[in-house]
């Protein structure tokens, strides 16, 4: 019996383009007092990083797979296939590296080997969405003589830094007349519906990193239409590219899905100024785009306004004698919504590993 341990000393989170370092320790767990006949041997061990892709059949229409490349490796073969038995397709892999050959360990003896590889920059980030999944793993294959290959898989999380040449969303496109938000400058917006101005909204920036807070302010004191309630949600929008969308008539699910990561709701009648703060989870995925799917971030606003001009729902401040005052049982309202795009970039992988720790050590017994 041989125990193989793979340890990522810095944690399981990396930026694409960084060097991954892993220490692989092979041990004969028998006590040193055992006889020499209890020594164990391995023929070889190799390591390789690969990215596995899986798509939802109800949302994504993929071309037929190549049947000439089987996904299951026969037990009798000695070919190192890291994605053997994995779900989906292997879309990216690094060249395999040999860790050792013809290793023999006496009882209680252990040896360590270092593996280093640069994560490819052309791959997608780690992502588990409703339409597609991109999963990275470091796979270590070991084999005894005349025995099947044993695979040890170490899960990884890869962050991809893209779009630095466009750190601000373009604002030169004409806004449709039906939009309730009319832009004044880089970070001030008028909020209006079909009957007048509701207030103004301000945001301090439009580009964030994982772990930061999205802070915005809402000024309702200048409005001519009473706002009864508002909510703002921090959401991601997963969109399947048009050429891979499955037709709805063929039983396909919607090509666009949304996930809410944080939400703020407030009753704001007679409120002149308020603010909100929405944290961006470290466990979420920054925006990205591949040939099959794109992920974008946005703030989704919903407003409830009164149809009655000059609505007042407070009792008079001065009355000659005590009276009982009750508010109206029904108030006619209108609702409208709007989406404001923002950009979310990766942060330090060390910070992500510390705040949202994942397994950095994997063990297998051969």
* pLDDT single digits (tens) 67-86: 555 544 444 456 777 778 78
| Per-residue pLDDT at 169 | 36
CA separation, residue 249 to residues 140, 162, 246 (Å): 44, 35, 9
CA separation, residue 205 to residues 180, 213, 231 (Å): 20, 11, 19
Tell me, what DSSP letter sits at residue 352?
Answer: H
7, β-bridge pairs = 23, 361
Q: Which two tokens stand for residue 223?
A: 């409005």
Q: What's the helix, strand, coil split of the chain in %, to 5?
A: 5, 50, 45
- The tens digit of pLDDT for each residue in 210-233 reads 999 999 999 998 888 889 999 999
The secondary element (H helix, E strand) that includes residue 142 is strand 132-143
- Beta-carbon contacts of 316 under 8 Å, excluding residues fewer than 6 positions away, are 325
* Residue scoring higher pLDDT (72 or 120): 120
List the one residue out of 110, 114, 111, 105 whose CA is nearest residue 144: 105
Helix (H, G, I), strand (E, B) or coil at 358: coil
| Per-residue pLDDT at 65 | 63
Domain 3-63+74-161+350-365: assigned CATH number:
2.60.40.640
- The tens digit of pLDDT for each residue in 7-37 reads 998 889 999 999 999 999 999 888 877 766 6
Q: Which two tokens stand for residue 170?
A: 């373009």
Q: Which two tokens stand for residue 348?
A: 């330090």
CATH entry 3.40.250.10 includes domain 187-309+331-345:
no
What pairing do the DSSP bridges indicate for beta strands 19-27 and 3-7? antiparallel
Q: What's the mean pLDDT when you consider all of the chain?
A: 84
List the one residue out of 342, 343, 362, 365 whose CA is nearest residue 139: 362
Segment 284-311 mean pLDDT: 91
* C-beta separation of 298 from 237 below 8 A: yes
- The tens digit of pLDDT for each residue in 6-15 reads 999 888 999 9
Cα dihedral 278, 282, 284, 289 in deg (nearest 10): 100
Whether the pLDDT of residue 310 is over 80: the answer is no
Whether the pLDDT of residue 107 is over 70: the answer is yes
* C-beta separation of 45 from 100 below 8 A: yes
Whether the pLDDT of residue 153 is over 60: the answer is yes
Q: Is it true that 3-63+74-161+350-365 and 187-309+331-345 share their CATH fold?
A: yes
Segment 266-279 mean pLDDT: 92
| Per-residue pLDDT at 88 | 86
* C-beta separation of 148 from 75 below 8 A: yes
Per-range mean pLDDT, top range of 71-75, 106-110, 342-346: 342-346
81-93 burial, b for 16+ CB within 10 Å, e for fewer?
bbbbebebbbebb
Domain ranges of the chain: 3-63+74-161+350-365, 187-309+331-345
Whether the pLDDT of residue 181 is over 70: the answer is no
| Per-residue pLDDT at 72 | 47
């Amino acid at each position: 019996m041989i125990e193989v341990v793979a340890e990522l000393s810095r944690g399981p989170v990396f930026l694409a383009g960084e060097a991954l370092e892993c220490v692989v320790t092979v041990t004969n767990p028998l006590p040193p007092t055992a006889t020499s006949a209890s020594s164990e041997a391995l023929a070889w061990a190799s390591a390789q990083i690969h990215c596995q892709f899986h798509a939802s059949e109800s949302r994504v229409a993929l071309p037929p797979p190549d049947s000439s490349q089987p996904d299951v490796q026969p037990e009798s073969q000695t070919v190192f296939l890291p994605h053997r038995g994995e779900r989906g397709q292997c879309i990216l892999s690094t060249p395999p590296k040999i860790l050792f050959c013809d290793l023999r360990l006496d009882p209680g003896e252990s040896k360590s080997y270092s593996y280093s590889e640069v994560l490819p920059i052309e791959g997608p980030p780690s992502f588990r969405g409703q339409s597609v999944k991109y999963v990275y793993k470091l796979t270590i294959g070991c084999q005894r003589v005349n025995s099947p290959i044993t695979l040890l898989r170490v899960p990884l999380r890869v962050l991809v830094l893209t779009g630095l040449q466009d750190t601000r969303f373009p604002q030169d496109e004409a806004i449709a007349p039906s939009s309730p938000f009319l832009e004044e400058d880089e970070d001030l917006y008028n909020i209006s519906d079909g009957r007048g101005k509701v207030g103004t909204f301000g945001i301090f920036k439009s580009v964030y990193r994982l772990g930061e807070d999205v802070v915005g302010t809402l000024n309702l004191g200048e409005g001519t239409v009473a706002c009864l309630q508002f909510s703002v949600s921090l959401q991601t929008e997963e969109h399947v590219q048009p050429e891979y969308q499955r037709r709805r008539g063929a039983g396909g699910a919607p090509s666009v899905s949304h996930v809410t990561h944080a939400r703020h709701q407030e009753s704001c009648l007679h409120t002149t100024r308020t603010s909100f703060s929405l944290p961006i989870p470290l466990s979420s995925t920054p925006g990205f785009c591949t040939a099959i799917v794109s992920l974008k971030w946005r703030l989704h606003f919903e407003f409830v306004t009164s149809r009655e001009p000059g609505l007042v729902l407070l009792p008079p401040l001065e009355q000659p004698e005590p009276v009982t005052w009750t508010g109206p049982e029904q108030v006619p309202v209108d609702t409208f919504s709007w989406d404001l795009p923002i950009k979310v970039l990766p942060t330090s992988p060390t910070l992500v590993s510390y705040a949202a720790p994942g397994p950095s050590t994997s063990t297998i017994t051969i």
